[in-house]
Structure 1
Amino acid sequence: MSHKREFEAGKARVEGGSTPEDKRRRFKSVVQEVMRLQTVKHFLEPVLEPLIRKVVKEEVELALAKHLTGIKWICEKDIHPLESRNLQLKFLNNLSLPVFTSARIEGDEGQAVRIGLVDSSTGQIVSSGPASSAKLEICVVEGDFESHSGWTAEDFRNNIVKEREGKKPLLSGNVFVVLSDGIGVMDEVSLTDNSSWTRSRKFRLGVRMVDQFEFVKVREAITESFVVRDHRGELYRKHHPPSLFDEVWRLEKIGKDGAFHKRLNYSNINTVKDFLTHFHLNSPKLRQILGTGMSSKMWEITLDHARSCVLDNSVHVYQPHGFHKETAVVFNVVAQVLGLLVDFHYVPAEKLSETEKAQAEEMVIAALSHINEVISYDDVSSMMRNFLNVPSSQTSVGIDYSGLSLTSMDGYGFVPNLHNTAEGSGHVDMEVTPQGLYDDFNLWNCSQILGLEEPQSDLQSALDGFIMSEKNVVVGKAHSRRWTKLFSVSKWLSVFKNVTVRKNLK
C-alpha cells in the first residue's frame, strides 16, 4: 500500500507540473515582474507618451494632407482629363555665361535659376495638384543631346554625364529642388570639372522628376549647351554687360594682350568708354585700327557687346564758336549725339537731317577740345528745365542787387582795364590789380564807362544801365556770366566810391 501511495503522489506531481515550492518561486517572480513594470511605467511613461503622441499626430496630419490633395486632384481630373495634362519641366530663365568650375551657376543678371512645371497643352505653370510640389533632381547632360521634343526618359538617362574616374561628383551643392506652386529655385549648385573631356566639349543642365505619379507623365527639361571652363580662367572672363571703365579686352572677340588689344592700346583706346567714344566720333577710323583681321561678323559681335554697356542718364551741352549763337549740341558720356538745341527748342537726334547730324558730330568733336565750356545736366529733363528757361528775346533777368555790399576788399580784386576797352563795344576787360594801384584810375574814364556825368550821380542807375546793356549773352552761360559781370561791376563801383572819398579828403 505504501508503494501505491508513493506512486500516486509521484504521478500527481508529474500531472500537476509543480510542487508547492515551485508555486512559491513562481509567485515571487510574478511579483518581481509586476514591480519592474511599475518602475518602467513610472519612469518611462512621462518620456515616451509625448513622443508617441507627436509621432502619431504627424503621421495622421500627413495622411490627411495626402488624402485632401488626392481629393483635389480627383476634382481637377474631372475638369481636365488626364490624357490632356501631359506635363513638362522647363528652365524659366537662361544661364549666365560663361560658366566656370567651382563658381555658382546663375541665371541672367545674376538671378537664381528657376524651374517651372508647365502644362504642355497650354504652356501655363501648373500651380496645383501633387506634381506642383514634387521633388526634382538636377543633373548634367551631354552637350550634343538634341533638344527636340521626341526624346524618351531612357534617352535622357543614357545621356546623363557622370564624373571622370577618380574625380569628385560632377555637380556640387544641393542638386535637389522642391517645387512650390509649380516653381522651384536652383540653389548653390556648381560644377567641379570642365567640359573639355566630353565628346561634344560642352555640357547641358538637365532636370527630371524624382517623385512618380500615377497617370501623369512629366517630361524632363534641358538648357542650351555651354562650355565649362576652369576657374583659373575667370580672371579673363568677359563681363555681361560690360562697364564703361572695364578694360577694352573685356569685350567679346578682343583677347587680353592679343593683336586687337595691342592695336587699340597703341591708339590710346584702353577702356570700353574709349571704344564707344571713338565709335561715335569716327567709326571708320576705329574699324581701320582693328584691321582686316577682325571680320565683319566679329566686328558686329564686339560692337553689340560694347553697346550693351549701361550708361547713366547724364547729358552734356556745348555751344561751339562759329555757329549760330542759339544753337548747341546735346550728347552723352560716350560722345553720342542725342540732339540739337536750336532757337531754344530741343530737337532729338532721330529728327535731325543727315546734314544736321554731321554738324552735330563736328560740334561734339569741338566740345571734347573745349571741355571746360561744356555744361552737364543729370538728365534731359533737368536740361530742359535749366537750360531752356532763358527767354528767346534774350532780355536780362531781373536781379535784386540792392543788398550787395559795395565796400572794397583788401588784397586783390577785379577791376576794369580801361585802356583795353573797345570803344562802343560795351565790353570791359577784367584783370587782377593790387589794391595800391586803385588811386591811379582816371575818374573821368570811369564816369564815361558807367554813363555818369558827375561823380555824385546815382550809382544804382549806372549799375542798372550796365546790366541791361548786356543782351548778347551766350546760350547756356547766361546765368554764370551775368553773375560774374554783376560782381565785377559791383567791385568796380566799390573802388570808384573809395577813390572819390579819398579825393574829397584831400
Structure 2
Amino acid sequence: VKEEVELALKKHLANMKRNSEKEVHFPESRSLQLQFLNNLSLPVFTGARIEGDDSTIKVALVDTLTGQIVTSGPESSAKVEIVVLEGDFDGDESDNWTIEEFKNNIVREREGKKPLLTGDAFLTLKEGIGSVGEISFTDNSSWTRSRRFRLGARVVDNTDETRVREAKTDSFIVRDHRGELYKKHHPPVLFDEVWRLEKIGKDGAFHKRLSRESINTVKDFLTLLVLDPSRLRHILGTGMSTKMWEVTVEHARTCVLDKRVYLYCPPGTQQKSGVVFNVVGQVMGLLSECQYVPIDKLSETQKAYFPYHIRSFVSCLLFSYIIFLLCL
C-alpha cells in the first residue's frame, strides 16, 4: 500500500509541474521581414524588364529569429507591392527603419512624367515566396539625390498587428535605354564592331581613325595588334593616352578566339612544313615534316625562323593565298 501511495504522489507532482510550466509558458514572438532572394541583373535600362541575376526577381517572407521562410499562416500568402526607393536609403547602423522612414524614401515620378515603374508591381506570396512580374523603369536615376535607386518590397492590406519589415535591394544606376545601344561588350567577340572596345566611342575620333584604315571589327583590331602594334598605335594617334591604350588593348585581349587556324607553307615545302597562325595572326607553332610543334616547345633557332614567314604570311593574306584549316 505504501508503494502505491508513493507512486500516485509522484504522478500527481509530475502533473502539477507540467501544468505549472504551461501556465508560465509565453508564446514565442516572431520577427517577420520580406527579403529579396536574388540580386538584380545589371546594368538596368529604362524600358527593359528588371530581372534577377539568375532568373526572375524573387521575394520571400522570413522569420528573422530562425532565418527560415514562413510557409504557413496568413502572412505566407500576403500581397506585396514593389516600390522604388532612394539609393541612399540605408536605415540605421543595424539596417533598421520605421514604417514612416520607409514611406518617406519612396521615389515618385518627376512632374509631368509617367509613373516611375510600369508593369505589374504587385505579387502574392505562395507559401512565403513570390516572383516579381514584368516591370520596368520609365525614367533614369540621374535626377535623384544619390543618382541611384533601390527596389523595395512591402506588405499591403496587412490586417494582422504583426509588423512585417520591408525589403530593399542594393542600390543601382538606371540608364536611359539609348545607352544600351552603345554599351561595351564584356568580353567582346571577334565580329563586334570595334567601338565596342573600351575607350573607343561610337562615331568618335578613334572610331573614325580606325574606320579609315578598314579596322572595323574587334578581329581587325586584334590582327593588327599582333602583326604591327606600332602601326595600330600610330593610327589611334596621340589623342589616346598610354593609359587609354592599355585599357583598350587589355579589353580586346579578353576576346574569346575560335578554333580556326591558318597554315602558311613556304614555296617548295609541298605543304609538309610551315608556320601555324590563329585567326588573328598570332603564331601558334610550326609544322615540320607533317609534325606540329607548339610554340612553347620550339628552340630559339626555330623561333628565329618566324619573322620572315610572318611577313610572307601577311602578303599571302593580301593576295588570298592562304590554306585554311579547321581545328588543326
Could you state the TM-score of these two structures normalised by the residue count of structure 1? 0.46
For residues 29 and 268 of structure 2, the distance between their equivalents in structure 1, rounded to whole angstroms, comes to 78
2:138 is equivalent to residue 192 of structure 1: yes
Q: CA deviation at 1:163?
A: 0.7
1:206 to 151, 165, 169: 151
Which structure carries more helix by proportion? 1
For residues 87 and 150 of structure 1, the distance between their equivalents in structure 2, rounded to whole angstroms, comes to 16
Worse overlay, 351-360 or 249-258: 351-360
Change (3 A) 1:159 1:279: farther
1:274 to 194, 197, 220: 220
Contact residue 88 and residue 171 of structure 2 kept, 8 A: no
Change (3 A) 1:85 1:166: closer
User: 1:445 maps to which residue?
Assistant: none
Q: CA deviation at 1:276?
A: 1.8
User: 2:109 maps to which residue?
Assistant: 163
Look up the equivalent residue of 1:207 and give its one-letter code.
G
Which structure carries more strand by proportion? 2
2:323 to 375, 386, 389: 375
Look up the equivalent residue of 2:219 and give its one-letter code.
K
Measured against aligned partners, the alpha-carbon deviations of 1:202-228 in whole angstroms (never above 9, x if no partner) come to 323423242779889766242452241
Contact residue 36 and residue 167 of structure 2 kept, 8 A: yes
User: 1:115 maps to which residue?
Assistant: 58
Look up the equivalent residue of 1:246 and give its one-letter code.
D
Measured against aligned partners, the alpha-carbon deviations of 1:343-362 in whole angstroms (never above 9, x if no partner) come to 54444455567886675576
Q: Greater Rg, structure 1 or structure 2?
A: 1
For residues 345 and 182 of structure 1, the distance between their equivalents in structure 2, rounded to whole angstroms, comes to 64
User: 2:194 maps to which residue?
Assistant: 248
Aligned-residue identity in percent: 51
Change (3 A) 1:376 1:119: farther
User: 2:97 maps to which residue?
Assistant: 153
Q: CA deviation at 1:279?
A: 2.0
Measured against aligned partners, the alpha-carbon deviations of 1:99-144 in whole angstroms (never above 9, x if no partner) come to 4322333566xx74433659899xx9x6662477765443333344
User: 2:258 maps to which residue?
Assistant: 312
Look up the equivalent residue of 1:247 and give its one-letter code.
E
Counting matched residue pairs gives 291
Look up the equivalent residue of 2:155 and give its one-letter code.
V
2:82 to 138, 146, 164: 138
Contact residue 340 and residue 347 of structure 1 kept, 8 A: yes
For residues 298 and 52 of structure 2, the distance between their equivalents in structure 1, rounded to whole angstroms, comes to 40
What secondary structure does 2:210 align onto? helix
Contact residue 204 and residue 224 of structure 1 kept, 8 A: yes
2:245 to 285, 299, 321: 299
Look up the equivalent residue of 1:251 and give its one-letter code.
L
Contact residue 147 and residue 222 of structure 1 kept, 8 A: no
Could you state the TM-score of these two structures normalised by the residue count of structure 2? 0.66
For residues 146 and 354 of structure 1, the distance between their equivalents in structure 2, rounded to whole angstroms, comes to 61
User: 1:261 maps to which residue?
Assistant: 207
Q: CA deviation at 1:290?
A: 2.3
Q: CA deviation at 1:342?
A: 4.1
For residues 361 and 134 of structure 1, the distance between their equivalents in structure 2, rounded to whole angstroms, comes to 72
Larger RCO (alpha carbons 8 Å, 6+ apart):
2
User: 1:431 maps to which residue?
Assistant: none
What secondary structure does 2:233 align onto? helix
Look up the equivalent residue of 1:167 and give its one-letter code.
K
Q: How does 1:428-439 map to 2 (within 5 A)?
A: none
What secondary structure does 2:274 align onto? strand
Gaps of 5+ in 1: 1-80, 384-506
Q: CA deviation at 1:158?
A: 3.8
